[in-house]
Structure 1
Amino acid sequence: MLISSFPVKPLNLKVSSFTDTSITWTWDVSTGASFYYVYVDSSTIPVKATTNSYTLNNLSYMSTHGIQVSSVTKYGLESEMTTAVSQKTRLPAPVMNRYLLDTTYATGTSLNTPSSNNVRVYAGSQYLATGTAAAGVVNIYMTGILGAYYAKSVALEINGEVKPTVAVNQDGTYRYYAKNLITSTSDVVKVLLYGRGNAVMETLPVKVVSVSSTVINANNGSTANPYVIGDNYVTGTFNTVYQVKALDGSSSGGATTIEGMPGNLVIELPKLTINPVVASTGVVSGTTENNGQVRVSVNNVAKTVFTADATGNYTGNISGITVGAIVKVEAKVGSYFPAYKEVTAT
């Protein structure tokens, strides 16, 4: 008596995900199959899989592995095998060095292999640029990248009307005074983040609520917190972490090029502090990067540039400081001044 028929072989075998140490395959569920046999790297001895997926772990980077799959009934009848589907694992993540905003090059290290001479830089899913990884040394020209993709200012769009911009904070956060601007939970509110070229680089919807909410909207690493009617500010964060991926293959991409695992490139502002300023002495002092420079302004009038010592301490005298004057110091990186601190003279 016929107790069963042979099952249909699995369909749509494909790679669903892979890293530098693992590969996962999936396939369509086969009608009548109780389990599946997975044949790894041309092995004739199968591995049993009880679901329609299979993962190989603990693999070497840049190694190629393939599987074939068959369906098996509860009576042990086995279908024919699928065609083999193979995948090469990724390169490990580059290790990036400390990077100060406005430094010309970001540097780091990557695996030194003949097939990997380039890296790609992303802000979330947004491709930014390609750098080099010659002999395992990563160099990325950053000047043009951060002009468009590092936040400088923020505005609100409320029911289609764009409000004036204000500067973002230097710690990767922003806040926009919105009390009496947003008055109803039906208001349509968006955060507009502007890059240093004054073009919109991110648009984030804001959830308007009458009571506190934990729903946070995010895009490419930037966030917008919920706004509670009556609060003073709309708040959130802007992206200061970029991803760097080494390329196994051509820098121009293509079907044979495989992006490696992402390494983080954290954009930091230079260290900067300013001590209280006493008008009668005119002494301006504080700390910055070792051997770094700071520009000193009084009431928005540039006065001089101080150079810090090998431990980052700077000090000098500025004549004409009066009580109530705003003393501002800006840390210099290359030809830019990306960080500042202010105090009121007493």
Structure 2
Amino acid sequence: MKEFTATSITFAWEPVELARYYVFKVNGVISNVSTNEITVNNLTPKTKYTASVFAFSGFLNGEKSEVTQKTRMKMPTVGEYRYGETYILLDTDDDPNVMRAPISDVDGNYIATGSVTNGKGKIYVLGNAKIIAGHDYLVTVTDETDPNNKVASMPARITAKIASLSVHDVTVSDKVVSGVTDPNGQVRISQNGTAKTVVTADATTGAFTFTLSSCVVGDVILVETKVGSIYPSSKTVTVRDTSGSITVNNYTLNTSYVTGTYTGDVVNIALEVNSVLATKIKVLSETTYQYYSKGVITSEMDSAYIIAYDSANKQLDKKKITINKA
């Protein structure tokens, strides 16, 4: 036997001088083989197969050789592992003879062994110096049906994933610290070196948000992912003032809307006609706005403006509307 997987075994033997071919038999199937090696595919995992082979010179049969080999188990199903978590968790066959789950680096160097009970496995890796953030590892389980011939499963490759993190700008007007991390992950938020809170992200989207009680332009906000007792990734943002601008399209009398575009932190707009300010409304989309103006702007001589505001209703921009005849 040369090598084997969960569904194949490669058998090899010493070449025989003057052999015309080799007669190979496994699982009741006989094959004439011209070389001293054959791979048998489409086998059943965790199953013993007995194979025999002898050389044939064209006139005489050589001495028969026989070997029994068990195929490996299928690879275990390993859950996503975030660097800093206590255990690597896995699922495998519910078999009382499957009790151990070793982990190694990709070069096969042993790191640790976990336990398996009723098909559920866990490997304790917290604080293990050989587990490095961002590196890949191989996890197997061991079939110990024959204590003298323990057979490792096919390996599952996993990554010690570094918790993901993105953080949005923080402005002095809205005071909101927000961003995205791993679903159901945690982040610690600090302001000017003082820890403020730990927030748990949404279980589906990973979005998180926290409103500071107060802040000023220049405050330093540190957001760190929290996995177990460590903080594997972080982002820093500096509180800034809000800014934004608008454009306004020419308005034709008796049409319904004043329209235009905006950039930056614009959240609300309002129409001002002859120094009378109308109600503030939210912008239409991420880049455009419209404001109902029919019957409000009634003459080419009207003095009309669109005014842009941030989330705290601080004025960011004001543009005059050019009015055309109908």
TM-score (norm 2): 0.65
1:135 aligns with 2:91: no
- Of 77, 89, 95 in structure 1, the residue corresponding to residue 71 of structure 2 is 89
| Offset, 1:33 | 1.3
Equivalent runs, 1:54-203 vs 2, <5 Å: 54-73=38-57, 75-82=58-65, 84-124=66-106, 125-145=108-128, 147-151=129-133, 172=134
Distance change (3 Å), C-alpha of 1:51 and 1:277: same
Return the alpha-carbon distance in structure 2 between the equivalents of residues 341 and 295 of structure 1.
11
Q: CA deviation at 1:266?
A: 3.0
Distance, in Å, in 1 between the alignment partners of 2:80 and 2:192 is 33
For residues 326 and 35 of structure 1, what CA distance do their matches in structure 2 show? 78
In structure 1, what is the Cα distance between the partners aligned to 2:165 and 2:120? 30
Provide the residue aligned with 1:25 in structure 2. 11
CA displacement at 1:290 relative to structure 2: 4.3
Selected match of 1:256 from 143, 149, 158: 149
Report the identity percentage.
35
Answer yes or no: is the 8 Å Cα contact 2:125–2:131 preserved in 1: no
- Match of residue 38 from structure 1: 24
Mapping 1:183-332, distance limit 5 Å: 239=135, 241-249=136-144, 255-279=148-172, 281-309=174-202, 312-318=206-212, 321-332=215-226
Helix, strand or coil for the counterpart of 1:119? strand
Change beyond 3 A, Cα 1:280–1:249: same
CA distance in 2, matches of 1:148, 1:80: 50
Note if contact 1:96-1:265 (Cα within 8 Å) is conserved in structure 2: yes
Letter in structure 2 aligned against 1:36: Y
| Cα distance in 2 between the residues matched to 1:116 and 1:259 | 10
Deviation, structure 1 residue 279: 4.0
Distance in 2 of aligned mates of 1:86 and 1:144: 42
List runs of 5+ in structure 1 lacking aligned partners. 1-14, 152-171, 173-238
Range that drifts further, 108-117 or 265-274: 265-274
Residue 231 of structure 2 aligns with which residue?
A: 337
Contact 2:8 2:39 in 1 (8 A): yes
User: For the residues of structure 1 that align with 2:182 and 2:63, how far apart are their CA atoms?
Assistant: 67
**Structure-2 separation of matches of 1:149 and 1:248:** 25
Contact 2:111 2:130 (C-alpha < 8 Å) held by counterparts: no
**Structure 1 309/40 Cα, relative in aligned 2: closer, same or farther at 3 Å?**
closer
Q: Distance in 2 between matches of 1:71 and 1:293?
A: 66
* Structural RMSD (CA): 2.6
**Against the structure 1 CA distance between its residues 46 and 309, is the aligned structure 2 distance closer, same or farther, given a 3 Å change threshold?**
closer
AA of the residue aligned to 2:23: Y
Unpaired runs of 5+ residues, structure 2, are 241-326
Q: Distance in 1 between matches of 2:38 and 2:173?
A: 75
C-alpha separation in 2, matches of 1:308 and 1:150 = 25
- Structure 2 CA distance for partners of 1:150 and 1:39, relative to 1, 3 Å: same
Contact 1:280 1:322 in 2 (8 A): no
Question: Distance between the aligned counterparts of 1:264 and 1:47, measured in 2?
Answer: 35
TM-fit CA distance, 1:300: 4.3
SS state of the match for residue 133, structure 1? strand
Give the deviation of 1:78 after TM superposition: 2.0
- In structure 2, how many angstroms separate the alpha carbons of the residues matched to 1:59 and 1:291? 41
Deviation at 1:320, TM superposition (A): 6.5
Q: Distance in 2 between matches of 1:33 and 1:313?
A: 69
- Bigger CA radius of gyration: 2
Number of aligned positions between the proteins: 238
* Higher RCO (CA-CA < 8 Å; seq separation 6+): 1
